[in-house]
Structure 1
Amino acid sequence: MHATIQPPADLPLAVSLRRVVVLAAVAGYVEVIGFMDVGGIYPGIMTGNTVQLGMTFAKAQWARFGLIAFAVGLFFVGGIISSLIKRHLRRPPLELLVMAGILFVASVVRLHASVRIPVELPLLALAMAMQGETIATFGGVSLQTIVVTNNMVKFSDALVGRYLLGPAGQQSLKVPELKEVLMPGLAWLSYSVGAGAGATAAAWLQLPLLVPAVMLVFIVADLLFTRRAAVGMAR
């Protein structure tokens, strides 16, 4: 059985940062296309969907409630499927290649508006769950790239601890490392940039989801190369 991928904590900061930036941008990009395609429902942001779930239930908007519940359930099932896939792969980074393949299929599916909810939404929910399951540690810093709320909290806390606490506070508490400030902050920024890029690409490209699919192939190559190099050094 395999755990979530945890690259070596002693990786160069630039390597961890580029992975955070690319994966967060992929998530924002995919989320905004899914949101636009299925009428204001997120394929992977379950906080927003859960809030809407409660609101539509309170307002007895049953058609909308059922659609959002469908999205929430899809993500949960997607998480189970992704975990099963990850645990049966000899090389867990390859799950991101599976995700890239799913995005390729979703690119074709979204050309047909009638199947965007029954087919595209499940595919994107599964893809987002896969990303969340596959890599959540960067250079020793725990970080999720498919959400931003927790990253904003980590960023603000690390910013205060490193730069705004003052000498007395820094002596009594552990001072966050630079990477603990940069990674959640860049994840937040990259997510927003990715969302903007996704909205623009959806307006200009016929198959916009191919862009994040290619970016995932790059990340997989990066992860596998680093792992091979680490094994070589250990020998």
Structure 2
Amino acid sequence: MSRAWQLGAGLVLTALAGYVDALGFVRLGGLYTSFMSGNTTQLSVSLGHGAFDHTLMPAVLLTAFLIGAVLGSGLSILVPSPWATPAVLAYEALLILGALALGLATPELGLASFAMAVAMGAQNAVLAQVKGFRAGTTFVTGALFSLGQKIAQALTRTGPPLGWVGDGAVWGALLLGALAGAVAYAHLELYALVLPAAVAGFLAVIAAILAARSIDPASSKSPFP
């Protein structure tokens, strides 16, 4: 797939992660469905204060994200290239829809949030790197540091003058996605999950079309083993 597609899809997925994370943060009252550093800190603080009743949800979210990362990575490994990307994106879309269904069916916060965290863990297997900066992941701490580093290089003329733009775009995508998620949840509550599910599904279709076009029509071999 072309760099332009990877860049565009990566920024959209980063925004999607911010959207889902903000929605989960508001719904869970201060916990995250994609930012696992924050949940790890919350878990540690609760353990340190002996507030063991507050450790369950962070632990559930961390476990869910890890499961999602394993399953998403497993799909990307086992599904033949170039079908891995559409497969993981379709899986993510189904998980988000599953989170919506669970949230509407039961008042328990943990069930829908578990599915959301699994989806975010899986998303990180879609695009690991876009030629020089990370995009499509559900965390931007590294991108923010890289942004500062590349700004310093530009100012000292030890790096390209616009080398920081990519990392800045990644951070901005998460920021705008989180803003959209907070606004959407205020108006739509859990139905706000329809949008990220539709976005992931749309990207899966586009990725599948690109994958089909990349296959040599002269080859008689199936892309599947």
**How high is the TM-score relative to the length of structure 2?**
0.84
> Structure 2 residue aligned with 1:141, among 127, 132, 144?
132
**Deviant stretches of 4+, over 3 Å:** 221-232
Structure 2 partner of 1:87: 77
Q: What does 1:105-116 align with in structure 2 at a 5 Å threshold? A: 105-112=98-105, 114-116=107-109
**CA deviation digits over 1:121-145, x for unaligned, max 9?**
210111001111221122x234142
Distance change (3 Å), C-alpha of 1:229 and 1:181: farther
How big is the alpha-carbon RMSD for the aligned residues of Structure 1 and Structure 2? 2.5
- Which deviates further from its counterpart, 186-195 or 215-224? 215-224
Matches of 2:205 and 2:149, distance apart in 1: 33
Distance change (3 Å), C-alpha of 1:51 and 1:105: same
Matched, 1:212 2:196: yes
Distance change (3 Å), C-alpha of 1:83 and 1:24: same
> Structure 1 residue aligned with 2:90, among 83, 90, 97?
97
Task: Please state how far the C-alpha of 1:216 moved relative to its aligned partner.
Answer: 1.4
Helix, strand or coil: the match of 1:134?
coil
> Which amino acid letter does the alignment assign opposite residue 116 of structure 1?
L
Q: How many residues align?
A: 214
Task: Please state how far the C-alpha of 1:208 moved relative to its aligned partner.
Answer: 0.8
Task: Please state how far the C-alpha of 1:52 moved relative to its aligned partner.
Answer: 1.1
> Which amino acid letter does the alignment assign opposite residue 199 of structure 1?
A
Q: Percent identity?
A: 25
Structure 2 partner of 1:75: 65
Distance change (3 Å), C-alpha of 1:88 and 1:51: same
> Which amino acid letter does the alignment assign opposite residue 125 of structure 2?
E
Matches of 2:120 and 2:151, distance apart in 1: 28
> Structure 1 residue aligned with 2:207, among 223, 228, 231?
223
Matches of 2:106 and 2:30, distance apart in 1: 15
> Which amino acid letter does the alignment assign opposite residue 51 of structure 1?
T
**CA deviation digits over 1:12-71, x for unaligned, max 9?**
4xx444223211110000111112223322122111111111111111110112321222
Task: Please state how far the C-alpha of 1:96 moved relative to its aligned partner.
Answer: 0.6
Helix, strand or coil: the match of 1:53?
helix
Structure 2 partner of 1:181: 164
Matched, 1:53 2:67: no
**How high is the TM-score relative to the length of structure 1?**
0.81
Gaps of 5+ in 2: 220-225
Conserved? CA contact 2:6–2:127, under 8 Å: no
Matches of 1:106 and 1:79, distance apart in 2: 17
> Which amino acid letter does the alignment assign opposite residue 142 of structure 2?
N
Helix, strand or coil: the match of 1:43?
coil
**CA deviation digits over 1:151-178, x for unaligned, max 9?**
10111112222x2013xxx3xxxx2484
Matched, 1:126 2:97: no
Conserved? CA contact 1:109–1:116, under 8 Å: no
**CA deviation digits over 1:101-134, x for unaligned, max 9?**
11112122222452321x1121011100111122
Structure 2 partner of 1:19: 9
Task: Please state how far the C-alpha of 1:204 moved relative to its aligned partner.
Answer: 1.8
Matches of 2:204 and 2:68, distance apart in 1: 20
